[in-house]
Copies of this chain bind each other. A is one copy, B any other.
């Protein structure tokens, strides 16, 4: 049976060290079997990728990559929580897309995270989600994604 660690390796995905808490909140809280993960930004190797706004100065392709990187950082938090090999289900993603008033392709952007979770976790990666536009995000990033994950006992 392939472990998730092996699967990540096969996909050439290197998990970053999970981002440290930036304030009086924490990157994840476990309650019962549910792991609530804070909104993750598209940091890659300590640098923000794809700052800006969809419909203005970020393409759908780059937004997709930014959402995928948010997803990688969510997986890094799952690992930091000790849950990498215990994911029973990715339950829900919230995708916030920095959007101009006339940009309506939020789903195509958030697919960057959705596709990642299915690549890595298979059917357990299929999740409910909401994808919406927002006028601005922390640090000027193009995408923020948070998550609820069910861990096995």
Contact = CB atoms under 8 A, between A and B. Distances in A.
Interface of A: 21-29, 31-34, 36-39, 53, 55, 88-94, 96, 99-107, 111, 114-115, 117-118, 125-140, 144, 146, 148, 150
A123 to B, nearest CB: 10
A32 B54 CA distance: 36
Nearest to A27: B128
B100 A136 contact: yes
A74 to B, nearest CB: 11
A114 B25 contact: yes
B136 A101 contact: yes
A90 B146 CA distance: 17
Contact of A23 (B31, B89, B100, B114): B114
Given A39-B132, A128-B38, A114 B31 contact: no
B36 A92 contact: yes
Contact of A100 (B88, B131, B135, B148): B135
Contacts of A31: 33-34, 88-89, 91, 148, 150
Contacts of A90: 29
Contact of A111 (B24, B53, B101, B146): B24
A116 to B, nearest CB: 9
Contacts of A150: 31-32
A89 B28 CA distance: 12
A137 B96 contact: no
A140 B104 contact: yes
